[in-house]
Amino acid sequence: MPILFSFTTLLCLNYNEHITMSKRIFLLIVPLLLIPILVHADVASDCQQVSAADTNACQNLSSADCRVLLEKCAAFYDDQSAAIAKDLTKTTQQKNTLQSAVSSLKKKITSLEGQISRGTLMVKDLNIQISDTQVSIDNTVKKIEDSQNQIATILREIYIQDHKPTLAVLMEGNLSDYFGNVTRLESLNSRVSSLLESTTSLKSYLEGQRQKQESERGRLQKTIQIQSLQKQENEQNKKQQEGYLKLTEAQYQKQLADKQDVDKKAAAIRSRIFELLGVSKAPTFGEAYAIAKYVSGVTGVRPALVMAILTQESNLGKNVGQCYVTDFATGSGTSLQGSPKSRVMNPKTIPSFVSLTQSLGMDPQHTAVSCWIPLYSRGAPYGWGGAMGPGQFIASTWDLYSGKVTQITGAAANPWNIRDAFLASGLLLRDNGAGGSEFNAAAKYYCGGSYGRYECRAYANSVLSIANSYESDIRAIGG
């Protein structure tokens, strides 16, 4: 209604000469831009009603129309899930970046703390050295003063001796004693002067050392001051980054919860689509294609390949086995007609088989499984029968996929249910790498990890041939 009104208004405005061409273009473009928004809002509203547990959005629709609506909603929620997954990837990258930044800052802070501690210890050591040097300087100064006093005393004595009158010297006695005393005083003066010179040099050296120590202490103190500022800055940055990380983690958890909610809605809708398929045990081609198309939407494996596997294994559910396992100790049993059969089921898988059948209310000794295909290597038999249902899963492999099937359908998985068999086969093909090599995926389906043997390759060739034939049939029905 808003779009029609805008176009009608535009037609009327064409006659108004006061409306410029740019305004007309604007009025034309705006409604067109709103179309995707309105359509998206309608889809979201419809799908919200469809996914609501207390409503039945299909109560006034035919089965076919309901399927169309459900498939549209499943695709809508898949798109939402993919978009949220992209956001989760970005948020995870942001988390990793922030965690890396916080970790880096922690390392820097720890390193600075170590440097500050080492610098502080070095300053303390220098303070001790400076104190010791000062003590040495003080002691040296005292020695210098003592030497200077000694020199002064000697010089006075020499002066006195030099200025004694000759008569007085002669009257005192022996001249040799006089001259010997003068020589001794001069020698002592020389030694004391030499000591004074060396002591003075020592004092100069010690003062130089003290200046170097004080300079080194000043440099270290400045370095410690700078490192302390760097540590403070890094701590502030770390606190800020941790705050961002906390916000990002909350955003991540919100996105994760949103994705889980969307995936849950998509799974619930797929389960309802599966219920609407409502096919018999052995489906028609059209029914089989409908199931395979749905499975392809879940797994990405092309419908024709899924159908070909089920055809190769059980002719689309028409032949799910011709044997019963009756001896759980040896794995032997009987044919459906009662004749004895060996190697019906590997005893290692029998506990899983018994648990599964009993959980489904089935009698394990009267549940049909595949018979052993007689194979021998150098005269010794190898291989077992025991494959279950249309997809011919052995019990141990079904254990790996039953939970995945249940998660998608919302119901207990049953390998004899044609829809569950299709879905499990599609999941197994996907996990076997069908997106890269359908041949290898088919060979692994039959042989597991050892898929290079001749019979595995022959099986894969047969499956691909059937798939190519089905492609022609699918095109013929407009699929």
Q: Are strands 333-335 and 376-377 parallel, antiparallel or unpaired?
A: unpaired
303-338 per-residue burial string, b: 16 or more CB within 10 A, e: under 16: bbbbbbbbbbbbebbeebbebbbbbbeebbbbeeee
Are 31 and 3 spatial neighbours (Cβ–Cβ below 8 Å)? yes
List strand residue ranges (DSSP E) for 50-168, in order. none
Q: Report the alpha-carbon distance of residue 333 to residue 347 in Å, rounded.
A: 12
Cα–Cα nearest to 470, from 479, 459, 461:
479
Compute the CA torsion angle 45, 47, 48, 50 (nearest 10 deg).
130
Mode of pairing for the β-strands spanning 340-341 and 323-325: unpaired
Residues found in the chain: 479
- Please report, in tens digits, the pLDDT of each residue of the chain (479 residues total): 333 333 333 333 343 443 344 444 334 434 434 434 444 557 787 788 777 654 566 667 776 677 678 878 878 888 888 899 899 899 999 989 998 999 999 899 999 989 899 889 988 988 998 888 888 888 888 878 877 787 777 667 666 666 666 666 555 555 566 666 667 767 776 777 777 787 788 878 888 888 888 888 899 889 989 989 998 999 999 899 989 999 899 999 999 999 888 888 777 776 666 555 545 467 888 888 999 999 999 999 999 999 999 999 998 888 889 999 999 999 999 999 999 999 999 999 999 999 999 999 999 999 999 999 998 889 999 899 999 999 999 999 999 999 999 999 888 999 999 999 999 999 999 999 999 999 999 999 999 888 888 889 999 999 999 999 999 888 887 76
DSSP 387: -
Q: Tell me how far apart the alpha carbons of residues 12 and 4 are, in angstroms, rounded to a whole number.
A: 13
The torsion angles phi and psi of 333, rounded to 5 degrees, stand at -170, -145
Tell me the chain's radius of gyration from C-alpha atoms. 49
Phi, psi of 447, rounded to the nearest 5 degrees: -115, -5
Q: What pTM was estimated for this model as a whole?
A: 0.50
Burial class, 294, CB count within 10 angstroms (exposed 0-12 / middle 13-18 / buried 19+): buried
Residues 317 and 421 sit within 8 Å (Cβ to Cβ): yes
Judged by DSSP in three states, 324 sits in strand
3-state secondary structure of 437: coil
Tokens (6 digits) for 149: 């006093």
